[in-house]
């Protein structure tokens, strides 16, 4: 059992809270009994599971290497408010050619990791396979992974610049803007890519110039905007019809 916070493995796991480190090593972490069990069942490569005796007892880890740590040590590597005593280290997935059938969603500078995770969760639930993330929060940060509620294992995530990602997508772009057509009256007979903009500044000029359609979510009582995750959810379900 590891009882020292200075143990190399513990230092390694703590370092994965840094996006730069995650990107360099191509790994990320998931925490909690349900999430770790989902990661094992997902087909992602789980390289290590670390937990307390109680936490590990609730995980179906099979032949995956495990390391038992003390409660105190686990608290120092946990990013959860209420640690469940187990986390897994996974390789980031690498996806190949993009399917051009079925709607997808494009996050254009969405900066809040909780919003990114919530959108991934809704994308998975509503059947949107591909999620593109440009200049925004890291989908593989602990906060995003937690907010995705397992959605991270059920969609394909592509990250990069607006230019690179938009050139990968061959379907029309739909952006949300208060000057657009009411989304509840909008009809389209082809697959589309929904663009969700930055929480404060909206959709970038670059993606506005790419848009084929512009829609709005009607609002009442003087409200002018919705949370990015809420808006994305409305648009994903409405435009799936």
* 1: three-class secondary structure by DSSP: coil
Round to whole Å and give the CA distance between 192 and 195.
10
Q: Tell me: pLDDT of 97 over 90.
A: no
Q: What is the DSSP letter of 62?
A: T
pTM of this structure:
0.94
pLDDT tens digits, one per residue of 4-54: 999 999 999 999 999 999 999 999 999 999 999 999 999 899 999 999 999
Tokens (6 digits) for 144: 């995003």
pLDDT tens digits, one per residue of 112-134: 999 999 999 999 999 999 999 99
pLDDT at residue number 177: 87
Bigger pLDDT: 179 vs 186 = 186
pLDDT at residue number 241: 66
pLDDT tens digits, one per residue of 136-159: 999 999 999 999 999 999 999 999
Task: Tell which residue, 7, 6, 25, has the closest CA to residue 16.
Answer: 25
């Amino acid at each position: 059992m590891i009882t020292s916070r200075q143990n190399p493995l513990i230092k390694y796991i703590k370092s994965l809270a840094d996006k730069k480190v995650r990107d360099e090593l191509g790994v990320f972490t998931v925490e909690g009994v349900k999430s770790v069990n989902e990661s094992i069942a997902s087909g992602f490569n789980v390289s290590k599971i670390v937990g307390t005796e109680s936490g590990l007892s609730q995980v179906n880890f099979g032949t995956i290497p495990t390391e038992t740590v003390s409660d105190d040590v686990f608290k120092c590597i946990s990013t959860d408010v209420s640690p469940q005593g187990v986390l897994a280290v996974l390789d980031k997935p690498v996806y190949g050619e993009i399917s051009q059938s079925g709607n997808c969603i494009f996050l254009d500078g969405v900066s809040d990791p909780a919003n990114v995770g919530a959108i991934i969760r809704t994308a998975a639930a509503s059947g949107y396979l591909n999620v593109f993330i440009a200049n925004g929060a890291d989908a593989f940060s602990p906060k995003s992974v937690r907010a995705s509620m397992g959605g991270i294992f059920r969609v394909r995530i592509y990250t990069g610049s607006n230019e690179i990602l938009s050139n990968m997508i061959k379907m029309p772009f739909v952006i949300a803007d208060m000057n657009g057509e009411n989304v509840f009256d909008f009809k389209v007979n082809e697959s589309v890519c929904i663009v969700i903009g930055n929480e404060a500044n909206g959709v970038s000029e670059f993606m506005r110039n790419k848009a084929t359609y512009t829609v709005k979510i009607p609002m009442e009582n003087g409200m002018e905007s919705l949370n990015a995750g809420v808006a994305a959810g409305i648009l994903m379900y409405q435009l799936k019809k």
